[in-house]
């Protein structure tokens, strides 16, 4: 049994028997040690008794919900996070309640908050920072494609799983909307200028935090910290940015933060404009390419002055990846408003629409770059649902019923390969 799998039915399978939805209760879980405490409740590690699957159980007190009148906010958080399926977004598997509490069943991130890693080490290397920023960028691109704005990206809301993979968590301030929003929300040091100036905002407020986090990862503190809230607001609005002499950070990384991510206009404009509209001939030529091909060209063009200053002929490769990833994020927004929106949108694909490839021993689905998305039967048996393209690294979410891939033998393998239980207090 896999804790979160539901039967996904489409028009082809409406006549098939629908699997009843599991009604969870506290009796289904063995509660372990506390993982954290928030304003509205606590989070505990827990083990589902039947499958032995480890989860995080977020307990929210109804009294607090009434006191702070967050009914709508909580409902929206649950609806949004349940609908998101991305390897860098923390899963919300389900929820239940009793007379006094609401329980959210969340994916367990074994290594905890990225904030703790940052505080422990003081700052991160450029390679570490680039790795996390790339993961965050692809997750935000996915959210924005779904018209979801997180609005509270910060190290405390970025978790790490047992493999060190980044996961965006806490969608309490998130909203799903195609129109601009006016609510001022988030955390002081990470607010975008338009938020501080009480202007309407959109997905660009998430993009702004990429620059904030680039700086914080490399220097150990947010760039606009000040003694008072009003002074922080002033520094944000002026983009009053300075780079300490220590730790040592490459010129390329500083250039990325200063001229790209934290340039005020770049929050809502094409990053290319904020980098001075410098282009090499191949970039001008390839600008009309479809998105996967353009992405492939950019990753092979790390010396292009459109992306890096011309006087730096040998850019730090990790910095180049960050620049390309952020620029790719901006491109996805441009394409989503263009004629490419249908072909560039990678959503859910039913398993019935995929083809079995005997040579690859995988289910496959055509990718616009010319290669194939691939996922194996073993991956499906283990509850994996992300099929990737080996050429351009794009992905799709495969919708299927896990029970169709399980028999007695594979079920035993599944149980053995499940996440190992942690010590429960």
Strands 395-399 and 348-350: parallel
Interior CA angle at 385 toward 25 and 81, to 5°?
A: 50
Q: Per the structure block, which two tokens stand in for 146?
A: 């779904």
Q: Which of 28, 99, 152, 348 is catalytic?
A: 152
| 89 phi/psi in degrees, rounded to 5 | -125, 130
Burial 82-100 (b: 16+ CB within 10 A, else e): bebbbbbbbbbbbbbeeee
Please write down the HEC assignment for all residues of 253-317: HHHHHHHHHCCHHHHCCCHHHHCCCCCCHHHHHHCCCCHHHHHHHHHCCCCCCCCCCCCCCCCCH
Contact 280, 301 (CB under 8 A): yes
Q: Give pairs for 190-193: CB < 8 Å, separation 24+.
A: 190/152, 190/153, 190/154, 190/222, 191/236, 192/236, 192/267, 193/236, 193/237, 193/239, 193/264, 193/267
To the question of whether residue 285 is assigned a binding role by annotation, the answer is no
Residue 271 CB partners (closer than 8 Å, separation 6+)? 260, 326, 327, 330
Our answer to whether residue 353 is catalytic in this structure is no
Binding annotation for ATP: 62
- As annotated, the active-site residues are 152
Binding annotation: 62
């Amino acid at each position: 049994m896999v804790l979160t799998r539901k039967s996904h039915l489409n028009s082809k399978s409406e006549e098939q028997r629908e699997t009843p939805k599991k009604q969870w209760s506290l009796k289904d879980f063995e509660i372990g040690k506390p993982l954290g405490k928030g304003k509205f409740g606590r989070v505990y590690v827990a083990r589902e008794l039947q499958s032995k699957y480890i989860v995080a159980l977020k307990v929210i007190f109804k009294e607090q919900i009434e006191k702070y009148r967050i009914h709508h906010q909580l409902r929206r958080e649950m609806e949004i996070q349940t609908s998101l399926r991305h390897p860098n977004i923390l899963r919300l598997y389900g929820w239940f309640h009793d007379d006094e509490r609401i329980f959210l069943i969340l994916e367990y991130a074994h290594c905890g908050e990225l904030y703790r890693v940052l505080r422990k080490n003081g700052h991160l290397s450029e390679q570490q920072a680039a790795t996390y920023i790339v993961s965050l960028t692809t997750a935000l691109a996915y959210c924005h494609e779904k018209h979801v704005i997180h609005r509270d990206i910060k190290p405390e809301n970025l978790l790490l799983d047992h493999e060190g993979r980044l996961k965006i968590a806490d969608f309490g301030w998130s909203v799903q909307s195609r129109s601009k929003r006016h609510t001022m929300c988030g955390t002081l040091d990470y607010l975008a200028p338009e938020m501080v100036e009480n202007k309407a905002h959109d997905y660009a407020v998430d993009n702004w935090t990429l620059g904030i986090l680039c700086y914080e990862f490399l220097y150990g503190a947010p760039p606009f910290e000040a003694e008072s809230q009003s002074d922080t607001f002033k520094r944000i609005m002026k983009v009053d940015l300075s780079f300490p002499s220590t730790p040592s950070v490459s010129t390329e990384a500083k250039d990325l933060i200063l001229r790209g991510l934290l340039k005020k206009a770049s929050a809502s404009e094409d990053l290319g404009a904020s980098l001075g509209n410098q282009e090499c001939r191949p970039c001008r030529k390839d600008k009309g390419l479809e998105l996967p091909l353009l992405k492939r060209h950019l990753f092979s063009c790390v010396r292009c002055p459109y992306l890096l200053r011309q006087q730096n002929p040998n850019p730090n490769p990790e910095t180049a990846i960050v620049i390309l990833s952020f620029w790719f994020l901006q491109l996805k927004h441009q394409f989503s408003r263009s004629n490419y929106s249908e072909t560039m949108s990678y959503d859910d694909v039913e398993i019935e629409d995929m083809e079995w490839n005997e040579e690859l021993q995988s289910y496959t689905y055509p990718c616009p770059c010319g290669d194939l998305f691939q996922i194996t039967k073993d991956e499906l048996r283990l509850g994996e649902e992300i099929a990737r393209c080996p050429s351009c690294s794009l992905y799709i979410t495969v919708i299927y019923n896990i029970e169709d891939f399980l028999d007695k033998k594979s079920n035993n393998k599944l149980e053995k390969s499940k996440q190992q239980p942690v010590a429960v207090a």
